[in-house]
Amino acid sequence: MAEKVEEKVKKPNAIQKWYKETVGELRKVTWPTPQEAWHLTVIVIITMVSTSLALWLLDLFFEWAIKTLVA
């Protein structure tokens, strides 16, 4: 009787697979230059400040409108 010897094929660990795939994807990324990163940072800060200002003004308007209607 011939016995089959099952060879176990080593499967990569899920964490190892994730790590290898992540490193592979990061190698494909086109990273911005420091100057591009600085310009994008300035754009984000300007957008954040202008949005905050707009929300603050809306809050003041609605506060005034509610006080006017209740009083």
Q: Confirm whether 23 is domain-assigned.
A: no
Q: Confirm whether 18 is domain-assigned.
A: no
Q: Confirm whether 59 is domain-assigned.
A: yes
Q: Confirm whether 20 is domain-assigned.
A: no
Domain count for the chain, please give it: 1
Question: Where do the H-state alpha helices sit in the chain?
Answer: 14-28, 34-70
- Per-residue pLDDT tens over the stretch 18-65: 999 999 999 999 999 999 999 999 999 999 999 999 999 999 999 999
User: Of 4-13, 14-23, 57-66, which gets the smallest average pLDDT?
Assistant: 4-13
* Sequence-separated (6 or more) residues with CB below 8 Å from residue 32: 40
Q: Confirm whether 43 is domain-assigned.
A: yes
Say if CB 32 and CB 40 are below 8 A apart: yes
- How far from 45 is each of 12, 41, 48, 58, 61, CA to CA, in Å? 44, 6, 5, 20, 24
Domain containing residue 70: 32-71
Q: Confirm whether 13 is domain-assigned.
A: no
The span from the CA of 1 to the CA of 21, in Å, is: 44
Whether residue 13 is predicted with pLDDT greater than 60 in this model: the reply is yes
pTM of the model: 0.59
Q: What is the pLDDT of residue 71?
A: 81
